[in-house]
Amino acid sequence: MGMDVMGNNPKSERGEYFRNNVWWWRPLWEYCCEVDSTLHYRVPNGHSNDGDGLKTHEECLALADLLLESLADGSALTYIKERDKRIAELEWDTCRQCEGVGIRTDKVGVEAGMPEKVLDEDIALLVGRTKGTCNGCRGFGKTEPWESHYPLNEENIKEFADFLQDCGGFSIC
């Protein structure tokens, strides 16, 4: 699923359209709400694609300025690093496919030969066995926390700020 952000009154081609898949959009929008705490109220459905958005050129310019300022002064990078550190420190989740044992033995797993699959040597050393795997966790029994699948970087922030400068208001579709 993606978030197609359409310029309402674009001033240039770069203001016509901005797209992120849902994995990239959510942390970007969260960051926008971090730099402008009023966005939660002005765009209450910023995490959905129901057409909500900022309506005026002035609102978009103000948000673009805040984003560009945060990139220039380093606060965006600090936010990203702190966010990445917090996510890296989260506990890993129990794998739902194998229920944490590292070997998928349900019908799908058995049909795919997972209980008998010989493990790569590096994984075998880590898990303490030579065979039996799971397509959900590669045989470890744990998966990365869900939040780790939602990236944020300075380039994405900059691309959105550039879009905002020229979009004349936007709708998230």
76-80: average pLDDT: 98
Q: 122: domain range?
A: 96-135
How far apart, in whole angstroms, are the C-alpha atoms of residue 74 and residue 21? 25
In a domain, 145, yes or no: no
How far apart, in whole angstroms, are the C-alpha atoms of residue 47 and residue 73? 27
Q: Read off the pLDDT of residues 118-157 as tens digits, 9 standing for 90 and up.
A: 999 999 999 999 999 999 999 999 999 999 999 999 999 9
pLDDT for position 105: 96
In a domain, 10, yes or no: yes
* Statement to judge: residues 52 and 6 lie in one domain: yes
Average pLDDT over the chain, rounded to whole?
A: 96
Q: Read off the pLDDT of residues 13-47 as tens digits, 9 standing for 90 and up.
A: 999 999 999 999 999 999 999 999 999 999 999 99
* Statement to judge: residues 16 and 82 lie in one domain: yes
In a domain, 144, yes or no: no
58-82: average pLDDT: 98
For 142, phi then psi, to 5°, come to: -130, 150
Residue 1 has pLDDT above 80, yes or no: no
In the block, which residue shows the tokens 């994405």? Answer: 156
Spatial CB neighbours of 104, under 8 Å, sequence gap ≥ 6:
97, 98, 112, 114, 115, 133, 134, 135, 136
* Statement to judge: residues 83 and 50 lie in one domain: yes
* Statement to judge: residues 60 and 112 lie in one domain: no
Question: How many domains is the chain partitioned into structurally?
Answer: 2
In a domain, 122, yes or no: yes
Of the pLDDT bands very low, low, confident and very high (cuts 50, 70, 90), residue 2 is: confident
- Please give the model's pTM, rounded to 2 decimal places: 0.84
* CA proximity to 126, closest of 137, 116, 110: 137
In the block, which residue shows the tokens 């674009």? Answer: 10
For the chain, how many residues are written?
173
